[in-house]
Chains A and B, each alone.
Chain A
Amino acid sequence: MTSVQPKLSTDARSANDPVFIGVGEIPSGRYPNRTFIGDLVEVASRALADSGLHHDEIDTILLIPCLHSFSDQADLIFSRLVEELGLSKAAKSNFMVHSGGSTSDNAVRIAAGLIASGHARNVLVLQAERWGSADLTEMVTMLTMNGIPKEWEQPSGITFNAIGALITQRYMAESGSTPEDMASVCVAFRKWANLNPNAMYRDKTLTIEEILASKLVSDPIRAKECPMLADGAAAFVMTAAENAKRKSDSWVRIAGSGGCVSHYSLGQEIEAGKLGWKIAADRAYEHSSWGAKDADFAQIYDSYAAVTTIGAEGLGLCPPGEAARWFRSGATSPGGAFPMNTNGGLLSAGHTGVGGGLALLIEGVRQLLGRAEKPRQIEQARRGIIGGSGGSYMDAQVLLLERIEKGDVQ
């Protein structure tokens, strides 16, 4: 594990430093009357307006896949959005990147590489999912039949809730966290969702008692600790710092990133209570000029509470074994010392498939741009940590993002 990390090829003063300049999102939940392509066009339009770019300035479309329909995904790959957005002949490249829940983190790396190396000027990254309107049984079966080894693990009857439960059980055994402690993580996310107009559960409160009174789905996880499948869509725009300067007084750059792919099947993860988070975090901190103590907030993948507590500990945001109790203390809730998952996370904003990680990412960018709705905006947010995970928690992906003021780099 002692491999030397490559260094970033740009810094905050580089003309070609890849930066975020705009985000777009629509509400998550159940919206049977919205359409897949309509949602994509809407978030693309919102992200472009937020970035100050005209649509024909986009030369690269980077697609994040949907999981509800292979046919809809094929439309994306075959450049339907180039037509829909009026970019025929203007677009240089349209393609998809995919690593499940961590796709958005890898999409950032790809977009950044294209911009820094001069292969792209302005990259639009977007995603939509129709999970909330899809047939639940069909989606659960699809998730069980794909990505879980058919030769070795499907015959056991494993489910995605069981995968979350196995991680949670191990985390609780190692940390001594109680069911109340774990439930409090979901409650902390719900408090943020209540401040987010795009969150699926923006209008519904949640208590520890309600969670513990809901039925066991896969021990120790109860029904109200499972993510709800949702419709949703989100987009962001990246460009080079020299372009950002012409449009805006501030933008968000990538101070560094780290990742660790630890397994394919959860049956092969040697530390189900730790996963790859500490390795990914150490690599990210080594890659950048700052670390955990310098961050103002974090947005960490949360398809189950333990995924986030394990991530928070691996990232060094709290002492090892203490994350669930740290959440229960209110430290990460609105008004707390260290805000986390300020959009409500997948658990309360809605699980939009591969988009759950994207929603956390763009919430982080939005906070750093100072564009979150008032009660949710973190004051003086300058540095944020984004954490993603895909597959059966096969990887831990860490992005360290920082706000840049034009005056600081001229």
Chain B
Amino acid sequence: MSDIVKTFQSGLADGKLLIQSCNACKNKMLYPRHRCTKCHANDLGWVEASGKGTLHSYTVVRAIPPAGFEGELPYGLGIVKLEEGVQLMARLKPGASGDWSQYACDAAVAFARPSPGPGDDRAVAWFKLA
């Protein structure tokens, strides 16, 4: 596993969402890259995300999951745009109603601890309604 993957995934395991930051031009990157996508420098560091963002789109997977995800159905997924200007695919926690009916495009969301259960140790960022 490459260092950028290791650092990002161990951040998630520690409850931190890490964003790559170019030490040359300050460009922020997520997902992490091997060189800066703006200036192509390879002197790259990390900053911790505030965890605040908006939901660009979302879905609830109810059937035909990938192998190994059968025990997690149904589950929420969404594209989250972080206030730092980067974005990522994330798992969404059920809302207060126990499902995902309160989610909407452009809703405010926040980085969260995973819902306890099968798959809660996967290297994926979880978000909840803010």
Contact = CB atoms under 8 A, between A and B. Distances in A.
A144 interface: yes
Contacts of B106: 173
A153 B69 CA distance: 13
B61 interface: yes
A219 B100 contact: yes
Kindly list the 5 A-B residue pairs having the minimum CB-CB distance in the complex, ordered from nearest.
A267-B89, A173-B105, A165-B59, A170-B57, A144-B66
Interface in A214-258: 215-221, 223
Contacts of B64: 140, 159, 161, 217
Interface residues of A, number: 40
Interface stretch (A104-112, A122-130, A268-276): A268-276
A218 B60 contact: yes
B108 interface: no
Interface of B: 5, 8-9, 31, 56-67, 69, 72, 75, 77-79, 81, 87-91, 100, 104-106, 119, 122-124
Contacts of B87: 267-268, 270
B79 A266 contact: yes
Contact of B58 (A157, A161, A169): A169
Given A159-B61, A216-B60, A217-B62, 9 more contacts: A140-B64, A151-B8, A155-B124, A157-B61, A157-B65, A157-B77, A162-B59, A221-B59, A272-B57
A268 B86 CA distance: 8
Name the prevailing secondary structure of the B interface residues. mixed
A152 interface: yes
A156 interface: yes
Nearest to A264: B31
Contacts, number: 111
A151 B31 contact: yes
A152 B61 contact: no
A158 interface: yes
Contacts of A144: 66-67
B72 to A, nearest CB: 6
B89 A265 contact: yes
17 contacts: A144-B66, A151-B5, A155-B124, A157-B66, A157-B72, A157-B122, A159-B64, A159-B66, A162-B77, A165-B59, A166-B59, A166-B79, A219-B62, A219-B100, A266-B79, A272-B56, A272-B57
Contacts of B62: 215-219
A145 B72 CA distance: 18
Contacts of A158: 61, 66, 77, 89
